[in-house]
Amino acid sequence: MNMAASYSASTAGPLAGVRVLDLTSVVMGPFATQILAQLGAEVIKVETPEGDNMRHVGPMNHAGMGPIFLHANAGKRSIVLDLKHPQGLEAALKMAEGCDVFISNVRPQALTRLGLDYEAVRQRNLRIVHVSCCGFDQDGPDAARPAYDDLIQGATGVPWLMGEYGSPEPAYVPTTLADRVTGLHTVYAVTAALYARSQSGEGQAVVVPMFEAMAQFILGDHMAGLTFQPPIGKPGYARLLTPHRKPYLTSDGMLCVLIYNDKHWKSFFEVIGESEGLARDPRFNTHSARAAHIDEVYAEVARIIRTRTTAQWRELLDAVDVPNMPMNSPEDLLVNPQLRATGFVSDTVHPTEGPMHTLAHPTKWSATPPARSFSPAPRLGEHTRQLLEEAGYSPERIHTLIEQGACRTDT
């Protein structure tokens, strides 16, 4: 199947008609532009001759097509440009002339050295929304520092929180939390800037910093007593930090249960009966009392949950509307009835990588729904010729650029 020949820009979704020049790599930026593509934008992925680093993280069927790359780059087209080559840079600027959004996670100082900072791109397109995803707000002393998910998790207190929670030693959360939180900030920044342009007719520069985005995320829960001056307590939301806040052991497995408000507790007491005496325990009477004694409260729940099987508890708790869910693994999620029924998880066939599971956009829209299927993640440079032709380059000129090393194709 010739994917380049079969590609057509999506006409579905709220961002249909928006064209994005995407210079991002790894996770944060590609996750953001993946969502933009799922919402209907046409995303042009500009890669170095070596390709996005995530292409090379396995397991994989073929070199350069790792699973994280496949999931984060579906719905995009790939062009390989050497931006340090004058003609490669010129090709990127020429393509920016026909785009609505220019987005990168290259450090701003390096982007300026390349000649792709906001002022340089704006000279070619006054309406461009120029989005710089970077480690730190550029007005602070750390502006030029490199940033990766692990570093930003550490710098914003995630390992400290894990220690407070009971981890034997400080640890990172085992998912690219900072990358994906910042990626979501990037999506709304792009869409809000496009709305502002629709009102003013002018583009603008937007900076999305990882450190500040994650600091907002963490401090929103855990400033606690440090909110006030002088402080009236320690940092940390106690309910989130108690070591008993975890899936509960039943008599034959595990179950996630959250008995949260007064109604839930009343229903839970009805299920377990008066023999436990907890309904009369002042520690359990009010939300404030439970919060003040959260360690003891959750420890009691853990003790009680061990007395029945998972299936028995699910039947009892569902009957009285006490929130509970099974503890799933990634394998469980791929066959989960809810995710299958909604079409969030589906099975597709990649033209080179074969059968694979794919994930849809999780939101639903009444008037401009995103497409439910997308072109598969591209091979490195798969669309170089096609995209240069769309930018106005002749076949002869493209051949010359390839010969000069300014660009490359997958063939």
What CATH number should be reported for the domain holding residue 300?
3.30.1540.10
Residue at a domain's end among 326, 354, 383: 326
CA dist 304 and 321 (Å) reads 18
Residue 35: phi and psi, rounded to 5, are -65, -40
Confirm whether 8 is domain-assigned.
yes
Return the DSSP state at 251: S
So what's the pLDDT on residue 11?
63
Same-domain status, 51 and 199: yes
So what's the pLDDT on residue 111?
97
Confirm whether 241 is domain-assigned.
no
Same-domain status, 39 and 105: yes
Residues in the chain: 411
So what's the pLDDT on residue 275?
61
Return the DSSP state at 145: -
Same-domain status, 316 and 345: no
Same-domain status, 39 and 140: yes
Amino acid identity for residue 391 in this structure: A
Q: What is the CATH number of the domain that holds 112?
A: 3.40.50.10540
Instruction: Taking the CA atoms of 146, 150, 153 and 154 in sequence, report the sign of the dihedral they define.
Output: negative
Same-domain status, 319 and 398: no
Same-domain status, 31 and 163: yes
Same-domain status, 318 and 354: no
Same-domain status, 209 and 258: no
CA dist 284 and 278 (Å) reads 7
Whole-structure pTM value? 0.93
Burial of 205 (0-12, 13-18, 19+ CB in 10 A): middle
Same-domain status, 198 and 316: no
Residue ranges making up the domain that contains 95: 3-217+335-408
Same-domain status, 119 and 146: yes
CB-CB neighbours of 148 under 10 Å: 16
Confirm whether 264 is domain-assigned.
yes
Same-domain status, 351 and 302: no
So what's the pLDDT on residue 273?
85
The owner of tokens 């806040």 is: 245
So what's the pLDDT on residue 1?
26
Confirm whether 322 is domain-assigned.
yes
User: How many independent structural domains does the chain possess?
Assistant: 2
So what's the pLDDT on residue 276?
64
Sequential pLDDT tens for the chain (411 residues): 233 333 344 568 999 999 999 999 999 999 999 999 999 999 999 999 999 999 999 999 999 999 999 999 999 999 999 999 999 999 999 999 999 999 999 999 999 999 999 999 999 999 999 999 999 999 999 999 999 999 999 999 999 999 999 999 999 999 999 999 999 999 999 999 999 999 999 999 999 999 999 999 999 999 999 999 999 999 999 999 999 899 999 999 999 999 999 999 999 999 998 666 788 899 998 999 999 999 999 999 999 999 999 999 999 999 999 999 999 999 999 999 999 999 999 999 999 999 999 999 999 999 999 988 889 999 999 999 999 999 999 999 999 999 999 999 987
Same-domain status, 208 and 60: yes
Confirm whether 237 is domain-assigned.
no
Q: Which residues are catalytic?
A: 179
So what's the pLDDT on residue 4?
33
Confirm whether 30 is domain-assigned.
yes
Confirm whether 288 is domain-assigned.
yes
Residue at a domain's end among 269, 295, 326: 326
Question: What stretches of 71-177 adopt beta strand conformation (E)?
Answer: 76-81, 101-104, 129-134
Confirm whether 233 is domain-assigned.
no
Residue at a domain's end among 278, 302, 326: 326
